[in-house]
Chains A and B, each alone.
Chain A
Amino acid sequence: MAIIFIVILGSVLPKNPDKYLKDRFWAYKVHHKKSYNFIILGDSRTYRGVSPYDIEQVLPEFRVFNFAFSNGGLNPAIYKAAETRLDIKTDSTIILLGVSALTINNLSLPNEQYIQELTRAKEEVMERMYLGTYLNYFSSVTPTKVRDLIEDKKPLSNYISIYHDNGWVESEKFPQDTMEAMPFYVKDFELHTTNYQLVDQLCEQINQWTLRGIKVFAFRPPASEPLISLEDSAGNYNEALIKQKVEKAGAHWIDINPTLYKTYDGSHLYKSQARKFSKHIANEIKNSL
């Protein structure tokens, strides 16, 4: 009898496959054991904006993994984690850093999303990694969703994210609103601006990596012009100074023209733009190898 009810409700009630795909994506990103010879670090601008597929097309000798996180800070916790993913047995290894203002300020210092995934109970990790697809049938719903179903209200799904095992999130959002992300940045920068001690710490790490033969590349993730100016002014992000410090430490800074790439919210690239941008990055790296 219970099975009959479950089958009926399971078939009728709305599902939320995005949740399971998203949960699996983050669990996989943190807990899978594969190693790579090209690791990308940064925040959401980087994990939505840099596609490993396109880098691999240009640099076929590399296995690329996007190890960036929401509010992902560039600090020792993530450096250490990245190193465990780096295949040091290969001849050439690369670390690519997406250095936005938010990656080098105190707000992202705790690397909350990464730590949350890392410390997740092991059974929950297993559940998210292997059972998500099946559990989707048993997606929980709220009375509101049932009411919407009865009233035939379709949810407005204007934000599409496709999660890839290589760490990239292919994103689209309609309609475009390049000012959407601005209030969040304004709020963040009111509390935290670029911490140049973290930049120095990053340089120290770059120095260590380059001494070990790891090639390091860095770039400023593209964004809309107003957001770039906000980052410069309110976020106290001095690109010239950061570039100088990073290059002095041994990394190669890839210059970006942010206006060449379209964002859907002022901060994150459309998937087509992410692919274009990734190819540009890959070609820059190819030229300097």
Chain B
Amino acid sequence: MLFNSIVFLLFATLFFSIWQFTKSNITFKLVLLTIASFVFYGWWDWRFLFLIILTGLIDYLAAIAIAQIPKYKKAFLISSLLANIGVLSLFKYSGFISENIDQLLGTSLNNQINDFFLITPVGISFYTFQSMSYTIDVYKGKLKPTKNIIQFFAYLSMFPQLVAGPIIRAKDMLPQLIGHRKVTKEDTWEGFRFIVKGYFKKMVIADNLAPIVVTAFNNTMVADSSLFWWGAVIAFAFQIYCDFAGYSDIARGLARWMGYDFPDNFNHPYISTSLREFWGRWHISLSTWFRDYVYIPLGGNKKGKLRGHINMWITMVVSGLWHGAAWTYVMWGALHAMFLSIERVLRFPTEKFSNQFLRFCGWLLVIVQVLVAWVFFRANSIEHAFEILKVMFSFKGSLSLGWGFDGSIFMLLIILREIMIYMGIDKRINIKGTKGVFAEMIFYALLIAIIIFFRGNGSEFIYFQF
């Protein structure tokens, strides 16, 4: 079920109508949330519900076993990880792995894989990571396992964030699920703001930029104009940002309406003046997941400078592979690792510039690096990405960004918004009192009208595929 569909509007209306009656009855709440989440997921393809239930059951039991039989806790953890990684490998990577083996050895493994296993279940990377973090935290003693299976499944399958995050840690969410928190008027208003902003980002910005990106990248001939490609990559950068940040905002808003708090997942990444800062602002729940469960366990930067770089490369490449089963994603991760390594060695750019000119130079360098990496993320193949980069850096061809009048309007809107954040103008706009409330009311009412009348052609959220 897509957030931007009429079915979801009906589903959410029904869900929140019933949710009102749960009040302080925790069990009723959890059962309702779990059933609703299963319906939400099953709407896409009910056959894959078994995957969440299977991996969930394994992790639920493994966590209890880890706590109760400490002698074998490592074995239980390994079983849990193997089950999760196994399912992920089977459904997300079997096609990629077999294709590469076939190319290398001339075999025909790929043809022998059942079509069912070549379908990547929506959101599989999100819920398996969420589930894995639970058993790892229990193993490390950071979290006590829950014996309430409904609580566990309500956490694991929670529909607002089930298919595209943010990835919520069990230690943050499990206590919220069993605690009683009254949804205040402020919560309702805050949730409403998140939801409206989320829909605006997704349906107005991302969906209206999509045609520019599709026209550029899906064309078999690579256009011979540098500016056109810079325009296309910038459009993609904002498309993917607004698409994903929009989803996260809607998820946060829905959670707030239930009385739960989800952490911020995006914090204006394109205003970063260092790549390190970028990764602290982009897909925060995933970046911190990789930091806590991959980078730090590998030793982080505490085992020497070289080892620190190696660990970072491993983390970034795995993160690339998490995004998709293709070499282009691996390359995207590796490029970011390389840029981060250079930044670490040179100690430039940094997020702590006092000089405005240097700050701008740092920002420019970061944005160019991020855009170059996005080319690999969106291109159809590594060769395609190199062809595009070749044109981008040849500085030739027509002087058109290829956005057209419509695209330019939407690009202008989002770029102006980010400039306001970069320059801190948004903080200076502070209308107090009744005037402020009235202004905000008009602003959100207008946003709703704009979402309805200026929505782009609806499409799936990009991050569903990851």
Binding site for B on A (CB under 8 A): 1-2, 4-6, 8-10, 13, 123-124, 127, 131, 138-144, 147
Q: Is the CB of A144 within 8 A of B406?
A: yes
Binding site for A on B (CB under 8 A): 5-7, 208, 404-406, 409-410, 441-442, 444-446, 448-449, 452-456
Q: Is the CB of A140 within 8 A of B453?
A: yes
Q: Is the CB of A141 within 8 A of B445?
A: no
CA distance A138 to B404 in the complex (A): 24
Please judge, given known A-B contacts A1-B445, A144-B406, whether A138 and B452 are in contact too, CB under 8 Å.
Answer: yes
CA distance A124 to B448 in the complex (A): 22
Q: Is the CB of A5 within 8 A of B406?
A: no
CB distance from B306 to the nearest CB of A (A): 51
Q: Is the CB of A142 within 8 A of B449?
A: no
Q: Is the CB of B441 within 8 A of A1?
A: yes
Q: Is the CB of B6 within 8 A of A141?
A: no
Return the chain B residue nearest A140 by Cβ: B455
Q: Is the CB of B7 within 8 A of A123?
A: yes
Q: Which of B6, B406, B448, B453 has the most CB of A within 10 A?
A: B453
Return the chain B residue nearest A8 by Cβ: B449
A-side binding surface: helix, strand, loop or mixed? Answer: helix
Which residues does chain B contribute within 8 Å of A2, judged by CB atoms? Answer: 444-445, 448-449
Instruction: List 15 additional A-B contacts (Cβ < 8 Å) besides A127-B6, A143-B405, A144-B404.
Output: A1-B441, A1-B445, A4-B445, A5-B445, A6-B452, A6-B453, A9-B452, A139-B453, A140-B456, A141-B453, A141-B454, A142-B406, A143-B406, A143-B410, A147-B405
Q: Is the CB of B405 within 8 A of A5?
A: no
CA distance A277 to B32 in the complex (A): 60
CB distance from A150 to the nearest CB of B (A): 13
Q: Is the CB of B6 within 8 A of A131?
A: yes
Return the chain A residue nearest B457 by Cβ: A140
Which residues does chain B contribute within 8 Å of A131, judged by CB atoms? Answer: 6
Which residues does chain B contribute within 8 Å of A9, judged by CB atoms? Answer: 449, 452-453
Return the chain A residue nearest B438 by Cβ: A1
CA distance A143 to B410 in the complex (A): 9
CA distance A147 to B454 in the complex (A): 13
- Contact among A1, A10, A123, A147 with B453 in the assembled complex (CB-CB below 8 Å): A10
Q: Is the CB of A143 within 8 A of B446?
A: no
CA distance A126 to B105 in the complex (A): 48
Which residues does chain A contribute within 8 Å of B445, judged by CB atoms? Answer: 1-2, 4-5
Q: Which of B405, B444, B454, B455 has the most CB of A within 10 A?
A: B454
CA distance A121 to B387 in the complex (A): 36
CA distance A143 to B408 in the complex (A): 10
Return the chain A residue nearest B196 by Cβ: A2
Which residues does chain A contribute within 8 Å of B442, judged by CB atoms? Answer: 1
30 A-B pairs in the complex with CB atoms less than 8 angstroms apart:
A1-B441, A1-B442, A1-B445, A2-B444, A2-B445, A4-B445, A5-B446, A6-B448, A6-B449, A6-B453, A9-B449, A9-B453, A123-B5, A123-B6, A124-B5, A127-B6, A131-B6, A138-B453, A139-B453, A140-B452, A140-B454, A140-B455, A140-B456, A141-B454, A142-B454, A143-B409, A143-B410, A144-B404, A144-B405, A144-B406
Q: Is the CB of A5 within 8 A of B6?
A: no
CA distance A13 to B441 in the complex (A): 23
Which residues does chain A contribute within 8 Å of B444, judged by CB atoms? Answer: 2
CA distance A140 to B453 in the complex (A): 4
Which residues does chain B contribute within 8 Å of A4, judged by CB atoms? Answer: 445
Return the chain B residue nearest A147 by Cβ: B405
CA distance A106 to B456 in the complex (A): 33
Which residues does chain A contribute within 8 Å of B456, judged by CB atoms? Answer: 140
Which residues does chain B contribute within 8 Å of A123, judged by CB atoms? Answer: 5-7
Which residues does chain B contribute within 8 Å of A138, judged by CB atoms? Answer: 452-453
CA distance A8 to B442 in the complex (A): 14
CA distance A147 to B406 in the complex (A): 10
CA distance A131 to B449 in the complex (A): 19
Return the chain B residue nearest A135 by Cβ: B6
Which residues does chain A contribute within 8 Å of B454, judged by CB atoms? Answer: 140-143
CA distance A142 to B404 in the complex (A): 11
CB distance from A41 to the nearest CB of B (A): 29
Which residues does chain A contribute within 8 Å of B455, judged by CB atoms? Answer: 140
Q: Is the CB of B448 within 8 A of A5?
A: yes
Which residues does chain B contribute within 8 Å of A144, judged by CB atoms? Answer: 404-406
Please judge, given known A-B contacts A5-B446, A123-B7, A127-B6, whether A13 and B453 are in contact too, CB under 8 Å.
Answer: yes
Q: Which of A4, A6, A124, A142 has the most CB of B within 10 A?
A: A142
CA distance A127 to B10 in the complex (A): 12
Which residues does chain B contribute within 8 Å of A10, judged by CB atoms? Answer: 453
Return the chain A residue nearest B5 by Cβ: A123
CB distance from B5 to the nearest CB of A (A): 6
CA distance A2 to B448 in the complex (A): 6
Which residues does chain A contribute within 8 Å of B406, judged by CB atoms? Answer: 142-144
Return the chain A residue nearest B1 by Cβ: A123
Q: Which of A124, A139, A140 has the most CB of B within 10 A?
A: A140
Q: Which 3 A-B pairs have the closest CB atoms?
A: A5-B449, A1-B445, A2-B445
Q: Which of A5, A10, A131, A144 has the most CB of B within 10 A?
A: A5
Return the chain B residue nearest A10 by Cβ: B453
Which residues does chain B contribute within 8 Å of A140, judged by CB atoms? Answer: 452-456
Which residues does chain A contribute within 8 Å of B405, judged by CB atoms? Answer: 143-144, 147
CB distance from B208 to the nearest CB of A (A): 8
Return the chain B residue nearest A3 by Cβ: B445
CA distance A131 to B409 in the complex (A): 30
CB distance from A135 to the nearest CB of B (A): 9
Which residues does chain A contribute within 8 Å of B5, judged by CB atoms? Answer: 123-124
Which residues does chain A contribute within 8 Å of B453, judged by CB atoms? Answer: 6, 9-10, 13, 138-141
CB distance from B376 to the nearest CB of A (A): 30
CB distance from A257 to the nearest CB of B (A): 41
Return the chain A residue nearest B11 by Cβ: A123
CB distance from A141 to the nearest CB of B (A): 6
CA distance A57 to B464 in the complex (A): 52
CA distance A141 to B410 in the complex (A): 13
CB distance from B147 to the nearest CB of A (A): 38
CA distance A2 to B404 in the complex (A): 29
